[in-house]
């Protein structure tokens, strides 16, 4: 579904992402972890059109080169992301927020009625239907994150990029969130590529983990393989020292 080849991004003399290669398949949940400054956010930004990667980088989504495309054009193709800092519109209701995803996230134009149907479906799937008329600014953080997921779902994604969606949540809220993410894959066939610092959140649900360190891919494997990987452990210990 997503094939990234020789992804490179420099800031002045600093190589933030250093010729990284990987693929994400259909109905797969892939975690992206690594110490602070490893290049995770830069990698996400380079895939989603926020940053322009260096020449030689190839990013193919369903066989189409998306490197030169703008963020909204990439989203319309079905590659949708959430942000580390939640970006819902606080002054709108929950339902209005989800409608923005349903109306603007799709390649084909969607009627108001169809958008409303998709929004209702997304809110029901995520479990937020009873909050649909609330002003978003009044929601607690866990529900704002659910709302971000609902809005993304309403735009009919094929691949969802999640940026530290578990941060700031209690263990109970994290368990609920990971359950929702697993259902997105199992029941809706959506692939997930997920940056996360909270290991308990990502290790329990990911099929595969990619580890970045100093811009390079340090390791890739199942959660169990990554937990036992000496180089990965050392990279994290170095981060804490
Ligand atoms: N806009 C920028 N200009 C210059 N340097 C940048 C910019 N954005 C990121 N960097 C640098 O690129 C490197 C990778 O940063 P990035 O934010 O991608 O790491 P990260 O793995 O997401 O870190 P964290 O886990 O702390 O969010 C860091 O050295 C960072 O200082």
Cβ density class 149-176: b for 16+ within 10 Å, e for less? bbbbbbbbbbbbbbbbbbeebeeebbee
Sheet-wide strand order for 14-24: 14-24, 2-11, 58-61, 64-65
* Token pair in block for residue 148: 């971000």
Between CA 113 and CA 124 the distance in angstroms is 17
Q: How far is the CA of 38 from the centre of ligand 1 (A)?
A: 7
Q: What percent of the chain has pLDDT over 70?
A: 95
Number of other CB atoms surrounding residue 140 within 10 Å: 10
Residue 23 has pLDDT above 50, yes or no: yes
For ligand 1, atom 31, the nearest C-alpha belongs to 37
Query: Looking at the chain, how many residues does it have?
Result: 241
pLDDT at 236 over 90: no
CA within 13 Å, CB half, 195: 22
Query: What spacing in Å lies between the alpha carbon of 11 and ligand 1's midpoint?
Result: 9
For residues 4-11, average pLDDT = 98
Residue 1 pLDDT more than 50? Answer: yes
The answer, yes or no, to whether residue 196 has pLDDT greater than 80, is yes
- Residue with the nearest Cα to atom 30 of ligand 1? 37
* CATH fold label, 2-78+157-240: Rossmann fold (3.40.50)
pLDDT digits (tens, 9 = 90+) for 74-83: 988 999 988 6
Confidence of residue 239 (pLDDT cuts 50, 70, 90): low
Q: Is the pTM of this model over 0.90?
A: yes
Whether the CB of 109 sits within 6 Å of ligand 1: no
Q: Distance of alpha carbon 181 from its chain centroid, rounded?
A: 11
pLDDT in tens, 34-70: 999 999 999 999 999 999 999 999 999 999 999 989 9
* pLDDT per residue as tens digits for the range 151-177: 999 999 999 999 999 999 999 999 999
State residue 8's pLDDT score: 98
Could you write out the DSSP letters of every residue in 55-68? TT-EEEETTEE-TT
The CA 58 to ligand 1 mean position distance, Å, reads 21
Residue 42 is predicted with a pLDDT of 97
Domain edges within the chain: 2-78+157-240, 87-155
State whether the beta carbon of 101 lies less than 6 angstroms from ligand 1. Answer: no
Q: Residue 241 has what pLDDT?
A: 46
Q: Is 168 left (phi over 0), alpha (psi -120 to 50) or beta?
A: left
Distance CA 177, CA 170 (A): 10
Q: Which amino acid residue places its CA nearest to atom 16 of ligand 1?
A: 39
Q: How would residue 90 be classed by pLDDT, with cut points 50, 70 and 90?
A: confident
CA triplet 167, 237, 195: central angle to 5 degrees? 30
Distance CA(23)–CA(240), nearest Å, equals 30
């Amino acid at each position: 579904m997503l094939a990234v080849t020789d992804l490179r991004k420099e800031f002045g003399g600093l190589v933030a992402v250093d010729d990284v290669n990987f693929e994400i398949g259909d109905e797969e949940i892939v975690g992206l972890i690594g110490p602070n400054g490893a290049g995770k956010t830069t990698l996400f930004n380079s895939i989603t059109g926020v940053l322009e990667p260096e020449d030689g980088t190839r990013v193919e989504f369903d066989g189409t080169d998306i490197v030169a495309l703008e963020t909204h054009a990439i989203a319309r193709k079905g590659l949708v992301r959430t942000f580390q800092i939640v970006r819902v519109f606080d002054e709108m209701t929950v339902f209005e927020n989800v409608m923005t995803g349903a109306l603007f996230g799709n390649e084909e134009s969607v009627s108001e009625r169809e958008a409303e149907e998709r929004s209702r479906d997304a809110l029901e799937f995520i479990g937020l239907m009873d909050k649909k008329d609330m002003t978003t600014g009044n929601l607690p953080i866990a529900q704002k994150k659910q709302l971000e997921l609902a809005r993304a779902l309403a735009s009919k994604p094929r691949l969802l990029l999640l940026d530290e969606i578990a941060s700031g949540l209690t263990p109970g809220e994290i368990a609920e969130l990971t359950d929702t993410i697993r259902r997105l894959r199992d029941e809706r066939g959506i692939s997930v590529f997920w940056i996360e610092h909270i290991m308990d959140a990502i290790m329990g649900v990911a099929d595969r983990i990619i580890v970045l360190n100093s811009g390079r891919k340090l390791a890739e494997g199942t959660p169990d393989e990554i937990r036992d990987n000496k180089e990965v452990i050392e990279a994290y210990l170095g981060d804490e020292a």
